[in-house]
Amino acid sequence: MPRRTLTLATRNRHKVTELAQQLSAGWEVKSIADYAALPHVEEDGDTFQANAALKAVEISRHVPGFVLADDSGLEVDILGGAPGVYSARYAGLPSNDANNNKKLLVELEKANALTVDKRRARFRCVLVLAADGQSVESFEGSCEGHIDLTLRGTNGFGYDPLFIPDGYSQSFGELANETKAEISHRARALAKFLHWASLAIK
């Protein structure tokens, strides 16, 4: 049986290696860095699903096989789901983690979110699979928790030092990588894709 090609919409080689190790031998995993002159895709959708689909569908017009793209971010209930799709640039451009975290804490203070129940939040990830310019399937994962009012830990990035997942007393910035790999929003979305992939290759 010929191998199926899966291109990840990322230039991160670590992500490619990680996924290749989890897929069956029937898949060949590549990244967009393996191709020359692919178009830049503007992520201007208003949902994670829309942004992931924009990337996956457009890139799939230019490469063989399947393309898997993701978009993810933090949703805080009392802030109406913000920062949402603007998670990476919440404090404006140029963006950085420190400014984004600071803005989040300021917004929570404005919302008078003093108690944990008023700081409910989740990380959400959506993966979209596309081929030949068409969306094929999507896979969603989320990790529920709350926002702490103090930055905790240095293991991670983005809002990790502020996010305490349900069932844990440590932030994502304090938890071991192995634990995060089991419970994170990305891990849960990826598990759904891997299940699909295991059936699709048969």
Strands, DSSP E only, in 27-65?
27-31
User: Is 77 a residue of the active site?
Assistant: no
Residues 6+ apart with CB under 8 A from 163: 74, 121, 123, 145, 146, 147, 148, 171, 172, 173
H or E segment and range at residue 8: strand 4-8
Rounded to whole angstroms, the Cα distance separating 48 from 73 reads 8
3-state secondary structure of 82: coil
Residues 6+ apart with CB under 8 A from 56: 9, 67, 68, 69, 128, 129, 130, 135
Which member of 34, 44, 46, 71 is catalytic? 71
Catalytically active residues, by annotation: 71
